[in-house]
């Protein structure tokens, strides 16, 4: 039996929605088959008011063990560092987070807001939001860079806007079944099993990427979304085309560019007008190159690939 507590800070509930839509295992399977005891969750918890407060106090005091502390949403510090804009159970949520993180065996940040601040922390960041252990790319966040949970791990970051249900459930199951120590994390504390490959890995438009055939409209069957529509698939670490959404598709398969939602800088360019769904260029070349590619190499490769492209690459083709 593993006790799980899930709280929300500055959040839209997107990760809760994602989690509740999980299949194989579903949220119910976690309870019935994997021995997870949900102490409380904003959409599932039964306790209210004083009863909830008593439960939280009992967790903080150690009377109730908390094996997994899941946090969704940003830690809100406004106004002026007090956290009063996000009160929960009689005190600022940030104070609960500080106390609960100290007694958690594992601490898991779910979604971009909890991992790096996400959309709420975008400039000018009026809610003074930050992630549990990062603010965008900067290590530290609310808990500080030296934080480790009782199991000796830093915050396990499961980014995404929202995170895929399987990324959440599989990490929760690993922890609940005693395999938490086997998790290996990347430099941004994301489980490597999910976040080493790119969104582009498994994308059905890779042929068009290779032959430099561009999609110029959303939902277009043929063409790669990198050249014109701002797809960040080649530089975003995610398994979106390996572990499909709803088990059937992904953004890029459906003709919608990857927005890079698993990376700390998301949303990119602080959402300046004209920067979303549009490849940013400098002197005609993409501003952001695929990971590991330099500009000179890119130009040579793409010119050659274009010249070598077969006729079928320019024709309408089902890629979903």
Partner 1 sequence: MSDEDDKLRETIRSLLAGGLEVEVFPRADTHDEVQAIVGRLQANGDLKDRLAIAGFTLTPIEHEGIEQACETCMYYQVHRCYCELPELDVPVEPQWSCRLWRI
Binding positions for [3Fe-4S] cluster: 240, 258, 261
Selection from partner 1, ligand SF4, none that 299 binds (CB < 5 to 8 A by kind) is partner 1
* Shortest distance in whole angstroms from residue 30 CB to partner 1: 45
Considering the rule CB under 8 A, would residue 271 count as an interface residue with partner 1?
no
Cβ neighbours of residue 162 closer than 8 Å, sequence gap 6 or more: 14, 15, 17, 18, 111
Dihedral (CA of 140, 144, 145, 151) sign: negative
Residue from 164, 205, 212, 253 in contact with partner 1 (CB under 8 A): 212
Give least dist CB 110 to ligand SF4, A: 14
Sequence ranges of the binding site: 12, 113, 161, 203, 224, 231, 240, 258, 261
Tell me the C-alpha distance between 176 and 34, whole Å: 7
Q: Which residues bind ligand SF4 (CB under 6 A)?
A: 160, 199-200, 203, 205-206, 209, 224-226, 231, 233-234, 236, 238, 240, 250-252, 258-262
As annotated, the binding site for [4Fe-4S] cluster includes 12, 113, 161, 203, 224, 231
Contact 42/8 with Cβ under 8 angstroms? yes
CB-nearer residue toward ligand SF4: 58 or 185: 185
Pick the binder of partner 1 from 178, 282, 294, 318 (CB under 8 A).
282
For position 254 contacting partner 1 by CB under 8 A, the verdict is no
- Residue 292 makes contact with partner 1 by CB under 8 A: no
Closest CB to ligand SF4 among residues 175, 261:
261
Q: Are 189 and 195 in contact (CB under 8 A)?
A: no
CB within 8 Å of 2: residues ≥ 6 apart: 35, 36, 37, 67, 68, 175, 176
Q: Compute the distance between CA of residue 63 and CA of residue 109 in angstroms, rounded to an integer.
A: 24
| C-alpha span between 232 and 247 (Å, rounded) | 21
By beta-carbon proximity to ligand SF4, the closer residue of 41 and 212 is 212
Query: Which residue's CB is nearer to partner 1, number 26 or number 309?
Result: 309
Give the Å distances, CA to CA, from 77 to 69, 84, 132, 149, 211: 20, 7, 12, 22, 48
| Cβ(224)–Cβ(208) below 8 Å | yes
Please work out the total of residues on this chain that contact partner 1, with binding judged by CB under 8 A: 24
Question: Around Cβ 256, how many Cβ atoms within 10 Å?
Answer: 17
For residues 156 and 104, the answer to whether their CB atoms sit within 8 Å is no
Q: Which residues contact 68 (CB under 8 A, 6 or more apart)?
A: 2, 3, 4, 5, 36, 104, 105, 106, 108, 172, 175, 176
Q: What does 28 interact with, of ligand SF4, partner 1, none (CB < 5 to 8 A by kind)?
A: none
Q: For residues 141 and 286, which CB has a smaller minimum distance to ligand SF4 in the complex?
A: 286
Which residue number places its CB atom closest to ligand SF4? Answer: 233
The conformation of residue 256, written as its DSSP 8-state character, comes to -
Q: Is 294 in the site for partner 1 (CB under 8 A)?
A: no
From the list partner 1, ligand SF4, none, partner contacted by residue 199 (C-beta under 5 to 8 A by kind): ligand SF4
Q: Does 164 bind partner 1 (CB under 8 A)?
A: no
Residues of this chain that interact with partner 1 (CB under 8 A) are: 212, 214, 216-217, 227-228, 274-275, 278, 280-285, 298-299, 302-303, 306-307, 309, 311, 314
């Amino acid at each position: 039996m593993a006790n799980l507590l899930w709280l929300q800070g500055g959040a839209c509930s997107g990760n809760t929605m994602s989690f509740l839509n999980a299949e194989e295992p579903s949220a119910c399977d976690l309870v019935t088959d994997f021995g997870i005891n949900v102490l409380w969750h904003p959409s599932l918890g039964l306790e209210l008011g004083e009863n909830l407060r008593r439960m939280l106090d009992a967790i903080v005091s150690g009377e109730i063990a908390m094996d997994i502390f899941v946090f969704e949403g940003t830690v809100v510090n406004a106004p002026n560092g007090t956290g009063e804009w996000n009160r929960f159970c009689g005190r600022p949520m940030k104070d609960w987070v500080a106390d609960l993180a100290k007694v958690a065996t594992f601490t898991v940040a779910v979604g971009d807001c909890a991992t790096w601040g996400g959309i709420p922390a975008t400039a000018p960041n009026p809610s003074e939001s930050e992630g549990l252990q990062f603010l965008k790319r900067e290590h530290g966040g609310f808990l500080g860079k030296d934080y480790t949970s009782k199991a000796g791990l830093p915050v396990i970051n499961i980014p995404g806007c929202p995170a895929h249900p399987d990324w959440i459930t599989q990490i929760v199951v690993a922890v609940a079944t005693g395999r938490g120590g086997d998790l290996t994390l990347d430099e941004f504390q994301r489980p490597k099993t999910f976040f080493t490959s790119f969104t582009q890995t498994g994308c059905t438009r890779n042929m068009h990427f290779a032959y430099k055939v561009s999609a110029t409209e959303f939902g277009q069957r043929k063409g790669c979304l990198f050249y014109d529509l701002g797809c960040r698939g080649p530089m975003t670490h995610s398994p979106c085309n390996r572990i499909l959404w709803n088990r059937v598709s992904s953004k890029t398969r459906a003709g919608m560019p990857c927005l890079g939602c698993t990376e700390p800088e998301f949303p990119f360019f602080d959402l300046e007008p004209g920067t979303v769904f549009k490849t940013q260029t400098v002197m005609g070349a993409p501003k952001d190159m695929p990971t590991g590619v330099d500009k000179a190499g890119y130009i040579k490769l793409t010119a050659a690939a274009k010249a070598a492209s077969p006729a079928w690459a320019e024709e309408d083709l089902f890629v979903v």
